[in-house]
């Protein structure tokens, strides 16, 4: 049996498919099986796949289009490796991606999964940006309370974790976010601070095509995570909860609006901290630092510099200050 199984769903990606497969074949780590599952493609994807003679490539074809979630779960069922990696049919994995991720999981037995940074490329392979996400378990756990801190096709898992945690069709278009939350509730998680993937951003991305549906499902997941610490947010509180994560998104209308509800946001963040004291789900110093860093980002984006030091939820404990400072340095790199 191979050490690593790679799941690659395919649906009408003839334009990029060969590059994606070649990036797997060219990996420095060689003990793998690539499970390519064709979900009813009507283009030349099948011909491209069948042109490969590498015995490590296993080709599976769905009789009809069953969708991404069912295809991914099928892949999990047929995997035989000790670890499972994800790969999309339009992305490119860097040569040492699997070697680096496997080394991390081998050395850190308490971690269930790890992702990485990515370089964003367009339809012509031109680099258009970079995606950096937080790295450590403490902050990733908190980040999941607000948004997705992982790049799905950069992920690698221990097989037994995925065998016990399938993608849930109730959360279509944000099924990965829900799964990351579920896994994080029981295991440690990490991002490796290396650019191990070239992530293709184009008009067929789920985030582009189904943005509003995806946003509604994300709201549902956020509310579920808040319920885990005993909170049931009102519509206003959910708006406040998300506001500090919408400052980086130039497409979001909220960015164009003035924000004046600092007192209410302060109260909501305090509510989160207080509820966490009872549940002990998150490290308190990390939670306060995370919330404060988001508060500061909001104040700067709104040019309300006098508000930066005013929140009642903030703490001047040295541990909190140190973590807040480091988060702000990271966020500056991310912008």
3-state secondary structure 195-213: EEEEEECCCCCHHHHCHHH
Average pLDDT on 257-274 reads 94
pLDDT computed for residue 205 by the predictor: 65
Q: End of a domain among 167, 191, 207?
A: 207
Position with higher pLDDT, 257 vs 135? 135
How many angstroms separate the CA atoms of 15 and 17, rounded? 6
Q: Are residues 34 and 179 in the same domain?
A: yes
What is the percentage of the chain residues whose pLDDT exceeds 70?
A: 94
Task: Please answer whether residues 46 and 23 qualify as being in contact, where contact means their C-beta atoms are separated by less than 8 angstroms.
Answer: no
Q: Classify 85 as helix, strand or coil.
A: strand
152, part of any domain: yes
Model confidence pLDDT, tens digit, residues 104-147: 999 999 999 999 999 999 999 999 999 999 999 999 999 999 99
Q: How confident is the model at residue 206 (pLDDT cuts 50, 70, 90)?
A: low
- pLDDT over 90 at 102, yes or no: yes
State whether 198 and 239 are in the same domain.
no
Residues 121, 254, single domain; the answer is no
- Identify whether the C-beta of residue 35 lies closer than 8 Å to the C-beta of residue 5: yes
pLDDT at 251 over 50: no
Run of H or E residues at 271 = helix 262-279
Work out the pLDDT band at 11, boundaries 50, 70, 90. very high
User: Are 65 and 188 within one domain?
Assistant: yes
Residues spanned by the domain of 190: 4-207
pLDDT for the residue 182: 98
Query: What is the reported pLDDT for 246?
Result: 73
* Total of domains in the chain: 2
Output the pLDDT for position 218.
96
Confidence of residue 208 (pLDDT cuts 50, 70, 90): low
In a domain, 261, yes or no: yes
Query: Do 257 and 148 belong to one domain?
Result: no
Q: Is the pLDDT of residue 16 over 70?
A: yes
CA–CA distance, 211 with 308 (Å, rounded to integer):
32
Whether 123 and 41 map to the same domain: the answer is yes
The residue length of the chain stands at 335
Final residue belonging to a domain, choices 207, 223, 247 = 207
CATH assignment of the domain containing 22: 3.90.550.10
Helix, strand, or coil (residue 289) = helix
| Whole-angstrom Cα Rg for the chain | 21
Phi–psi pair at 241, nearest 5 degrees: -60, -40
Q: Are residues 59 and 142 in the same domain?
A: yes
In a domain, 220, yes or no: no
- Sorted by sequence, the CB contacts under 8 Å of residue 89 that are 6+ apart come out as 8, 9, 10, 11, 13, 16, 17, 20, 36, 45
pLDDT at 252: 44
Q: What is the pLDDT of residue 112?
A: 99
Answer yes or no: do 29 and 86 share one domain. yes
Do 94 and 61 fall within a single domain?
yes
How many Cα neighbours within 13 Å face the side chain of 22?
6
In order of 91, 97, 199, 202, the CA distances from 125 in angstroms are 10, 18, 10, 11
Say whether both 250 and 179 belong to one domain: no
pLDDT (tens digit per residue) in 143-168: 999 999 999 999 999 999 999 999 99
Does one domain contain both 199 and 236? Answer: no
pLDDT digits (tens, 9 = 90+) for 51-95: 999 999 999 999 999 999 999 999 999 999 999 999 999 999 999
Residue 249 has a pLDDT of 47
Specify if 223 maps to a domain.
Answer: no
For 140, 218, 286, the CA distances from 137, given in Å and listed in that order, are 5, 21, 10
Let me know whether 176 and 295 are in one domain.
Answer: no
Cβ-proximal residues to 149 (8 Å cutoff; 6+ apart), any chain: 133, 134, 140, 143, 191
């Amino acid at each position: 049996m191979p050490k690593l199984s790679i799941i690659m769903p395919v649906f009408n990606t003839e334009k990029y498919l060969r590059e994606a497969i070649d990036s797997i074949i060219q990996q420095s780590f060689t003990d793998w099986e690539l499970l390519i599952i064709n979900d009813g493609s009507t283009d030349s994807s099948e011909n491209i796949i069948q042109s490969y003679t590498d015995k490590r490539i296993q080709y599976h074809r769905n009789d009809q289009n069953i969708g991404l979630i069912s295809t991914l779960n099928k892949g999990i069922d047929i995997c035989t490796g000790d670890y499972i990696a994800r790969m999309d049919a339009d992305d490119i994995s860097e040569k040492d991606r699997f070697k680096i991720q496997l080394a991390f999981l081998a050395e850190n037995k308490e971690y269930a999964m790890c992702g990485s940074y990515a370089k964003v490329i367009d339809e012509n392979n031109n680099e258009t940006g970079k995606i950096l996400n937080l790295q450590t378990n403490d902050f990733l756990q908190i980040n999941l309370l607000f948004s997705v801190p992982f790049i799905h096709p950069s992920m690698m898992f221990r097989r037994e974790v995925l065998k016990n945690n399938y993608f849930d069709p109730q959360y279509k278009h944000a099924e990965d976010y829900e799964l990351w939350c579920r896994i994080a509730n029981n295991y440690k998680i990490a991002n490796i601070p290396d650019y191990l993937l070239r992530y293709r951003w184009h008009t067929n991305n789920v985030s582009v095509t189904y943005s509003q549906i995806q946003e509604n499902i994300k709201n549902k997941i956020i509310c579920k995570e808040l319920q885990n610490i005993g909170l049931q947010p009102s519509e206003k509180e959910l708006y406040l909860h998300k506001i500090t994560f919408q400052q980086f998104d130039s497409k979001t209308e909220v960015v164009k609006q003035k924000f004046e509800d600092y007192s209410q946001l302060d109260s909501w963040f305090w509510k989160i901290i207080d509820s966490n004291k009872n549940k002990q789900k998150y490290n308190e110093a990390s939670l306060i630092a995370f919330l404060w860093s988001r508060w500061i980002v909001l104040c700067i984006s709104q040019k309300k510099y006098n508000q930066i030091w005013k929140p009642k939820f903030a703490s001047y404990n040295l541990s909190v200050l140190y973590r807040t400072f480091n988060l702000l340095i990271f966020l500056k790199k991310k912008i």
